[in-house]
Structure 1
């Protein structure tokens, strides 16, 4: 959970520090994050394709396969990172076409160019991290995420305000801070995987540091649908921010505050989902489908409890939290209203992401991507646009549409996981059916 939170805590720190400059810079960061986040989660999702493969191979203790997966994970993510960093340089050309306030677009363009460069070291970090997490080694990435965020916060403060002898770069300081912090995180994660005694056997199984094409294709076959699904979801939330921008700078800044808070609880739940992927994939690889089913539902119950508590916490603090970002009374009032809606969709948001995680452990990724496409882009966004602009409910109407979409995804994925893990169904081939037969008989 802490490792997953690391991705959004970067944006949280940037937003808090930049927000005290004014609402226009805060809105600019919001536009920049909403456009580049699609690229970020596309890459992060693709990197997750290696996790169920590593977990299953570890369940069988297939060391040659683990060696191939280590090399392929690093190469795949590094190449994807280069591509995403390049695509990010083109995003500023699209910003004037999105109907945002001109003063926001002027500030967002340069910020996007620099933040996009940080996608390369981030993906290198992910390549090593996903291999380690597939083996159940999650604490190392957690500590690196924590330290990376502390470093990012210090650098951001120094470069935005010109403290401790650093140049005063204003809004751009937050982008340069993120680039530096992510570069150091990538180096540290690589050093752990390549030097840790715990991974000596896996490294010894590496026959060549040139990646095998078939292994890369296996990672891509699983990772691409995950990345597309995540991009569709984040893209829907990003478009909702652009819709808020059509209403003016104040609604856009309020949306940015509320989406930051909701993203933190979501990423915490996605940490439980990542654990579900590892446990379900490992147990499936070992041929124990009933235990894989229990692990998935344990993740469901844990998420239900956690997100329920987060929803109550948001309801009770919705008038206080916005002041962490900005003191503008209009922005604070609108953000408080949006946080109330965010509180209502906490459980749905958590259950849909843990459903995705559990199904990834079964290597079931394509159908969930289609579900996400239909729920977010065919239902949530049109409903949000109708409520927000046709019924003149504004940003709260847009967010209500998101609530509807998240709830649909949560229900459909829960039903699918129940079906996919039934012993009389079991469409996913198990690595060792001999282990399942006595369990099924009992």
Structure 2
């Protein structure tokens, strides 16, 4: 006799026909992925053993595997975005998902060979494998999030980022080497188990037309209006991420772990309460309006977080970083869901631009290390640069009406939805049934 396990979900309803989203395994799975990214890319020397790296101000450092992985990741994501609909069957297949998880796991394990052998071959192979593997996993996570409604995107993202920083800090401080490295290397396999559950059977196997075939857009205008703010925001995120993960989390003692968990919890509550207070996820511009100034304040007090006995300052800076991290993922997922754009295109292009910007932002503290004494404000020049970048990026953020203008209009008298249904030859009843099943929100 089989045992049936009940399905438990959390759904907060505030009345007035509005819900605050449904918490699901997406939060756990994406949290695991982000923890893997933090550990393999920014905590490499601490988790996988000492290895050559470039040192920067505020305790920052950049390793060779991270640089190689980022470059490969960027090219992989751009290729995926460019071949979006052409290789749609491949990008919705579970075989590719398994390959991505296997490459990420094997590439992480190769980092263990670097401290012992010190060979450039191990660093290069690890960078290539983790770059390709993480690119594949991100596309599947982006597609999974784009299938949900806006409120659920916000809820699951906020919880996921908190899980990520908590897991990263726990492995960093409590798991001894090489247990920490092996544990992190196995994380992509846990992601695979969740993604297999969250990824439906491919559309071509169901003998259906893909629902998330994108509405026609002006790609040139979309790249400019979408890519420009992402590039600038990514630079700020890269500098803040490097400082938060390498200066605050790694140098914090084991006894201060409750502080880190408190920071993660505060970040989650801050994001959720802000979105709820502003009327839900009806516009992504409302996500940024209150939180970007808060992030700027955390950047302003960042130099104080490096000093001893600055627990409260550390919490504030870490909360600002977690909110920033959450906002970027919410921006991509909500853009795909709201305007019925292909998440493969949005996440492929967006995450490629973001990765380049984050790498540049991570290298800025390294470059300033040799010239900080020549600058007018010394190391504080990094803070001033961050503030300027955030202000400039916020000014570049597109509004909803600008994205709507990029989507090519339908002929007069025919709605976009009707035209799309007519192009695919789907009967009206079948179309409405698919939308009621939740298949019209960016997913296959």
TM-score of the aligned structures, taking structure 2 as reference length: 0.46
Bigger RCO of structures 1 and 2 (CA < 8 A, at least 6 apart):
2
TM-score of the aligned structures, taking structure 1 as reference length: 0.46
